[in-house]
Amino acid sequence: MIKRRSALSKIALGVAGMVSMPAWAHSWSPSSLRHFRYLSLEDETLLAAITDTIIPKTDTPGALELGVHHLIQKIIVDCYDVPAQATIRMGLVLTDAVSIGDFGDSFTKLSPDQRLAVLKKMSLSEYPDQKNFIAMIKRLTIDGYMRSEYVMTNITKFEFAPNRYYGCVPVKA
Amino acid sequence: MSNLNIDSIKRVTYDAIVIGSGISGGWSAKELTDRGLKTLMLERGRDVKHIVDYPTAMTQPWEFEHRNQLPLEVRKANPVISKCYAFYEGTTHFFVKDDEHPYIQDKPFDWIRGYQVGGKSLMWARMTQRWSDFDYVGPARDGYAVDWPIRYADIAPWYSHVEKFAGITGNKDGLDTLPDGEFLPAYELSCVEKYFKEQMTKHFPDRYVISGRTAHLSQPQPIHYKQGRGKCVNRTICERGCPYGGYFSSNSSTIPWALKSGKLTLRPDSVVQSIIYDESLGKATGVRVVDANTKEVMEFFAKIIFVNAAALNTNLILLNSTSNRFPTGLGNDSGVLGKYVAFHNYRARINAEYDGHLETTTEGRKPSSGYIPRFRNVHRQETEFLRGYASGFSANRGEIRSNEGLGEELKTNLSKAKLSIWRVGSGIMGETIPKESNYVSLDKDKKDAWGIPQMHVNVGYDDNDEKMIKDFFEQFTEMYTKAGFTNIRTSDSKQAAGLDIHEMGGVRMGHDPKTSMLNKWNQMHACKNVFVTDGACMTSTSTQNPSLTYMAYSARAADYAVRELKKRNI
């Protein structure tokens, strides 16, 4: 943990100017990285916090409560190729780096407003690593949320067996 | 010969053997058993029992581990099958994995296969249009391929026969290009499908938009309840298997029907290696089988043999059935076996939008779409390319949700749905010309895990297909423009032959034994007790979805075979 923290601090120093990276991230290429089979516990916690920020709990459940991060983890581990996985891995590191740079602590320790500020900043970043990561993780979070049982049952009202088709009906007001 | 051997031969002797359990094999078996024949059905894949072997039929969308995305390993190991629109997390168990059943692509060819009881009838797209005489006369008119030995009048009563049993939706549209049949109520066209139909009537009187005829029970009849099937409940996840029997498959219909007769023996896991030909008798006596699991070689005997292994595998079996009499494959006196393979050109799509009729939309889901029968080169040759194309046509409104913002703003946006304007689309289904240079053959050395030679597939597009695509884009751009559609976009998927899953030919029908394999009864010219009634028998492909025609050929040929058997002619 201490080691990780110090590595991230180093990155944080660079956030204002050029972002510096841990060793693996410096020289990664699709051929140098191997396909990963799981996320570390830390990364999983961070991923959960990011999804919770993208779609928070309001009067209805948010992404965290619906377990969207479990699904995302499953998809990036099983379905994504190495370059896409690298975007995720790099993005998780960068999220903490930006958090520490702007608010002095890692993402999971920040307030909801601070977390949102971090993700918004990254989404507008001139660095493709940040921008692409937010685009990817946002798309995954939206997909997971919209395809959750809660949303499909209560919000989008999916019907498994409609037992009808009408070709031409008035649009409901 | 010892008594023991005689006993064992008796045990494995049937009146008829049907090779394959897909859409045509199911019909062959049903019709043969209906006429009292003790029938053995051989299926190379595992058993799939109706309802109990549909593991994902009741799976909710959120229950799929990857929400229906295919894992990377599956895609990497199966580059061919991963291209198939119906292959996803909910259906992988019904498709052949590339590495388990290798074949050799002399030209790019995506061979989509389903090795199990029911074959591809489990996952098919269920469009069922009759052929007309315009389809049958194509080869006679332009000289490509040989003249069909039958016409619409020969097959019409058999279309009626299979339609009533299978359950086909449709309207009596009264078109000479697409004869009417025995229909259950059609699925309604959407408002803009209807609007397009009216626009076509106004601007192009010979171009019709109809509700596609589909093998669904929109209103089951007593014959369907008798099969144990019920009304289609519009789930539109048919390819996972339907526990209601709402669409037609061998598994829900013909196979359980034939089994109920007590006359059918179904033997899954039976890879047919070849058909046994007896020179002294001048006919086929049985089938040599490799057990898929034990690899044990067995022989089964019968008076008549129906080959329904699916188009290319039927070619493979016949090519592999060599003897002194037929050194290049069973019945191949003409030398055309394996040749003149054709398919349907599915490469071209044209999409657009329509911002009229915004006060209306659709409700529920339909397992069908609009259909535009062929309108090119119908009465005479009028274009630079030969033959023609049919097209699907659909018009729907989608749900739009903004994904702007992050946090609560995003969540609020996602909770609000609005309807898109109408989105319309058509895909081509073009006839390809059967040519000698489009062929399949067997490799001399390479074999599969069951010792069966691997097949070379040398089938591809030609210049006629390119011209047809160009014409489709031009015609539909004009049709869409006349209808007031906007944002018209054409796309050519450049997909390989085969992905249409309409491969046909190689064992074609014809008048002349010198230029064809089968006579007008789907009976082999040179080996009278062998019948081929799957896609392999097709002399040309025309522009209708072919499965209904295979069903009708199977029923008609079975009826003929039994009559001939009774007359002791075979």
Closest-CA residue of chain A to B367: A165
- Whether residue B67 and residue A147 make contact (CB cut-off 8 A), yes or no, is yes
> How high does pLDDT run on average in chain B?
96
pLDDT tens digit sequence for B324-344: 999 999 999 999 999 999 999
ipTM of the complex: 0.92
Interface probe for B, chosen from A165, A166, A171 (most Cβ of B below 10 Å), is A165
Q: Is the pLDDT of residue B299 over 90?
A: yes
Partner residue opposite A161 with nearest CB, options B234, B403, B410: B234
CA nearest B132: which of B402, B480, B484, B379? B379
- Say whether residue B364 is in contact with chain A using an 8 A CB cutoff: yes
Closest-CA residue of chain B to A119: B406
β-pair partners for B299: B288
Q: Is the pLDDT of residue B83 over 80?
A: yes
> What are the angstrom distances between the C-alpha of B2 and each of B6, B7, B8, B352?
7, 9, 10, 74
**What is residue A38's predicted lDDT score, i.e. its pLDDT?**
78
Give B-chain residues touching A160 at CB under 8 angstroms.
60, 235
Interface probe for A, chosen from B56, B62, B74, B232 (most Cβ of A below 10 Å), is B62
How many CA atoms does the CB half-sphere of B557 hold within 13 Å? 35
Strands B183-184 and B168-169: parallel
Contact B388, B411 (CB under 8 A): no
The terminus-to-terminus CA distance of chain B in angstroms comes to 26
Over residues B312-329, mean pLDDT:
98
The whole-model pTM stands at 0.94
| Distance, CA of A127 to CA of A137 (rounded, Å) | 16
Sequence-distant (≥ 6) Cβ neighbours of residue A70 within 8 angstroms: none
| Distance, CA of B281 to CA of B283 (rounded, Å) | 5
Interface probe for B, chosen from A66, A81, A155, A163 (most Cβ of B below 10 Å), is A163
Structure tokens at B194: 């209807």
Give B-chain residues touching A80 at CB under 8 angstroms.
72
Partner residue opposite A166 with nearest CB, options B188, B194, B359: B188
Determine the Cα angle at B375 with ends B372 and B379, to 5°: 145
CA B349 to chain CA centroid, Å, is 21
Contact B309, B19 (CB under 8 A): yes
Sequence-distant (≥ 6) Cβ neighbours of residue B364 within 8 angstroms: A159, A162, A163, A164, A165, A166, B234
- Whether residue A79 and residue B403 make contact (CB cut-off 8 A), yes or no, is no
CA nearest A69: which of A49, A92, A87? A49
Sequence-distant (≥ 6) Cβ neighbours of residue A56 within 8 angstroms: A62, A63, A112, B407, B408, B411
Q: Which amino acid is at B195?
A: Y
**What is residue B304's predicted lDDT score, i.e. its pLDDT?**
98
- Whether residue B60 and residue A160 make contact (CB cut-off 8 A), yes or no, is yes
| Distance, CA of B264 to CA of B558 (rounded, Å) | 14
- Say whether residue B366 is in contact with chain A using an 8 A CB cutoff: yes
pLDDT tens digit sequence for B386-401: 999 999 999 999 999 9
pLDDT tens digit sequence for B90-140: 999 999 999 999 999 999 999 999 999 999 999 999 999 999 999 999 899
Q: Is the pLDDT of residue B8 over 70?
A: no
- Whether residue B69 and residue A58 make contact (CB cut-off 8 A), yes or no, is no
pLDDT tens digit sequence for B18-54: 999 999 999 999 999 999 999 999 999 999 999 999 9
Q: Is the pLDDT of residue B3 over 70?
A: no
- Say whether residue B416 is in contact with chain A using an 8 A CB cutoff: no
Closest-CA residue of chain B to A58: B408
Distance from CA of B421 to the nearest CA of A (A): 12
Over residues B463-486, mean pLDDT:
98
- Whether residue A165 and residue B407 make contact (CB cut-off 8 A), yes or no, is no
**What is residue A172's predicted lDDT score, i.e. its pLDDT?**
87
Contact B292, B286 (CB under 8 A): no
pLDDT tens digit sequence for A88-130: 999 999 999 999 999 999 999 999 999 999 999 999 999 999 9
pLDDT tens digit sequence for B239-253: 999 999 999 999 999
Q: Is the pLDDT of residue A13 over 90?
A: no
Determine the Cα angle at B23 with ends B17 and B24, to 5°: 45
- Say whether residue B194 is in contact with chain A using an 8 A CB cutoff: yes
Over residues B247-276, mean pLDDT:
98
Distance from CA of B241 to the nearest CA of A (A): 14
The terminus-to-terminus CA distance of chain A in angstroms comes to 56
- Whether residue B407 and residue A56 make contact (CB cut-off 8 A), yes or no, is yes
Closest-CA residue of chain A to B363: A166
Q: Is the pLDDT of residue A19 over 50?
A: no
- Say whether residue B410 is in contact with chain A using an 8 A CB cutoff: yes
- Whether residue A120 and residue B193 make contact (CB cut-off 8 A), yes or no, is no
Distance from CA of B335 to the nearest CA of A (A): 48
- Say whether residue B2 is in contact with chain A using an 8 A CB cutoff: no
- Whether residue A156 and residue B62 make contact (CB cut-off 8 A), yes or no, is no
| Distance, CA of B395 to CA of B147 (rounded, Å) | 38
- Whether residue A169 and residue B361 make contact (CB cut-off 8 A), yes or no, is yes
Highest mean pLDDT among A2-6, A42-46, B492-496: B492-496
**What is residue B12's predicted lDDT score, i.e. its pLDDT?**
83
- Whether residue B362 and residue A167 make contact (CB cut-off 8 A), yes or no, is yes
Closest-CA residue of chain A to B399: A156
CA nearest B114: which of B84, B139, B137, B140? B84
CA nearest A54: which of A40, A68, A41, A44? A68
pLDDT tens digit sequence for A134-150: 999 999 999 999 999 99
3-state SS of B23-79 is: HHHHHHHHHHHHCCCCEEEECCCECCCCCCCCCCCCCCHHHCCCCCCCCHHHHHHCC
- Whether residue B360 and residue A166 make contact (CB cut-off 8 A), yes or no, is no
Q: How many CB atoms lie within 10 A of CB B28?
A: 36
Distance from CA of A98 to the nearest CA of B (A): 17
How confident is residue A29, by pLDDT bands cut at 50, 70 and 90?
A: low
Q: Please give the interface size between A and B, counted as residue pairs whose CB atoms are below 8 Å apart.
A: 122
Over residues B63-72, mean pLDDT:
93
Strands B270-278 and B264-267: unpaired
| Distance, CA of B462 to CA of B472 (rounded, Å) | 16
- Whether residue A80 and residue B72 make contact (CB cut-off 8 A), yes or no, is yes
Contact B190, B362 (CB under 8 A): yes
Over residues B169-189, mean pLDDT:
98
| Distance, CA of B30 to CA of B257 (rounded, Å) | 7
Q: Is the pLDDT of residue A23 over 70?
A: no
| Distance, CA of B541 to CA of B340 (rounded, Å) | 11
Structure tokens at B116: 């199990």
**What is residue A39's predicted lDDT score, i.e. its pLDDT?**
83
Distance from CA of B417 to the nearest CA of A (A): 9
CA nearest B523: which of B197, B168, B83, B149? B149
**What is residue B320's predicted lDDT score, i.e. its pLDDT?**
98
Highest mean pLDDT among A14-23, B135-144, B483-492: B483-492
pLDDT tens digit sequence for A32-84: 567 777 788 899 999 999 999 999 999 999 999 999 999 999 999 999 999 99
Q: Is the pLDDT of residue A14 over 80?
A: no
Over residues B317-322, mean pLDDT:
98
| Distance, CA of B274 to CA of B110 (rounded, Å) | 24
Contact B500, B127 (CB under 8 A): no
| Distance, CA of A45 to CA of A48 (rounded, Å) | 5
* Inter-axis angle of helices A68-78 and A128-146, nearest 10: 120
Over residues B153-179, mean pLDDT:
98
**What is residue A33's predicted lDDT score, i.e. its pLDDT?**
63
pLDDT tens digit sequence for B507-547: 999 999 999 999 999 999 999 999 999 999 999 999 999 99
> What are the angstrom distances between the C-alpha of B408 and each of B152, B251, B404, B418?
64, 49, 11, 19
Least-confidence region, from A13-22, A33-42, B229-238 = A13-22
| Distance, CA of B150 to CA of B146 (rounded, Å) | 12
